[in-house]
Amino acid sequence: MAVSREETIDLLKTAYCMELETVMNYLANGINLDGVRAEEIKKSLLADVQGEIGHAQQLANRIKQLGGLVPGSAAITIGEQQQPPEDTTDVVAVIRGVIEAEEAACEHYKKVIRATDGEDYVTQDLCIQLLGDEEGHLVQFRGFLKEYTRS
């Protein structure tokens, strides 16, 4: 089912907001986490911040190419993702939050891919690339979760 240009722009804006929220949460968790067990997770999160910013930039460029306006801070919708935990040593909660955010991103990119199929190959290709990146993050953090929840 192909969607209109306006609907495609709205889907891209949602993805843009999701990426920006991920940047904020990865940055917060990458700084806030404490403890020896947290070091690898912190490094991974802080390294991923630049990639997520890159995703937001790519989405913003595509929004503009389609004739839309990139949302400013007042138009950004956030708060859907699990927030950084109060307990700064709760590494497992952070990992689970990352997995939840990455799964949501993957599902949203699949939605955009289906919506643009046969109509907007550029947007579809961009979202296929971004989906691949998000799936890579998902695999990495599922691996971390296995390691951190072993008995």
Give the list of residues 6+ apart from residue 82 with CB closer than 8 angstroms, or none.
Answer: 25, 93, 96, 97, 100, 101
Encoded amino acid at 8, one letter: T
Q: Mention the CATH class of domain 5-71+83-148.
A: mainly alpha
Mean pLDDT score of the chain: 95
CA distances from 106 to 1, 72, 74, 120 (A): 19, 24, 25, 19
pLDDT of residue 8: 97
* For residue 150, pLDDT beyond 90: no
Q: What is the pLDDT of residues 116-142, one digit of tens each?
A: 999 999 999 999 999 999 999 999 999
pLDDT band with cut points at 50, 70 and 90 for residue 12: very high
CB atoms within 10 A of CB 86: 8
Instruction: Look at residue 151 and tell me whether its pLDDT is greater than 60.
Output: no
pLDDT at 87: 96
Q: What is the pTM of this model?
A: 0.94
Give the C-alpha separation, 128 to 6, whole Å.
Answer: 20
For 79-118, what is each residue's pLDDT tens digit? Answer: 889 999 999 999 999 999 999 999 999 999 999 999 999 9
Model confidence over 22-75: pLDDT tens digits? Answer: 999 999 999 999 999 899 999 999 999 999 999 999 999 999 999 999 999 999
Q: How far is CA 80 from CA 19, 95, 113, 146, in A?
A: 12, 16, 22, 25
Classify each residue of 21-57 as buried b or exposed e, where b means 16 or more C-beta atoms within 10 Å of its C-beta.
Answer: bbbebbbebbebbeeeebeebbebbeebbebbbebbe
